[in-house]
Amino acid sequence: MRCPYCGSLDTQVKDSRPTDDHASIRRRRVCPDCGGRFTTFERVQLRELVVVKRSGRRTAFDRDKLQTSIEVALRKRPVAPERIERMVNGIVRQLESSGEGEIPSSTVGELVMEGLKSLDDVAYVRFASVYRNFREARDFEEILGQLSADDEDGASAPPPARNDD
């Protein structure tokens, strides 16, 4: 690991422990060249994933890009960061455990849509409008109609409040 202060590649781990959510490892490091101390967070990666875009172009899967796109959809929404992290971890786990090295971008998009739908309806609509390239108000009406139908079926609606006064 490169020292962020002097750039030396010869850093030493002084302490290593799992994070609270056990999704990564926190390492406390020190640089013998400049004496700088810093912390890194490392994740276990089960396999190298490649995302195949609609154009056929292939790019390395980027967890940070996935998290950023989800956070953009959830901007100014009342969703705890821990829930976002769990969602991202779940999507990454699903992709890694699929057994495929190459994942179509549509698969990633559908997993994000599925996760956002259960997390926050507004974020779901925001993401869908970009992902599905909405061009007219009718596109929004259709997806809102689907959400309303799901709520009526009880798929994501909370139980009705009871007033037993």
Structure confidence at residue 6 (pLDDT):
94
Q: What is the DSSP letter of 158?
A: P
pLDDT in tens, the chain (165 residues): 889 999 999 999 999 998 887 777 899 999 999 999 999 988 766 568 899 998 999 999 999 999 999 999 999 999 998 899 899 989 998 998 887 889 999 999 999 999 998 899 899 888 888 877 788 888 888 888 888 777 666 544 444 343 443
User: What are the phi and psi torsion angles at 26 (to 5°)?
Assistant: -95, 125
What is the arrangement of strands in the sheet containing 37-42, beginning at the earlier edge strand? 12-18, 25-30, 37-42
**Which residues lie across from 103 on neighbouring strands?**
51
- Measure the CA–CA gap between 51 and 37, rounded to whole angstroms: 36
- Measure the CA–CA gap between 26 and 70, rounded to whole angstroms: 24
> Amino acid identity, residue 13?
V
**Spatial contact of 84 and 71, defined as CB atoms under 8 Å apart:** yes
User: What are the phi and psi torsion angles at 46 (to 5°)?
Assistant: -70, -35
Structure confidence at residue 164 (pLDDT):
42
H helical segments located in the chain: 63-73, 81-97, 105-119, 121-131, 137-152
Structure confidence at residue 163 (pLDDT):
40
Structure confidence at residue 157 (pLDDT):
45
Structure confidence at residue 138 (pLDDT):
82
- Measure the CA–CA gap between 50 and 34, rounded to whole angstroms: 37
Structure confidence at residue 128 (pLDDT):
86
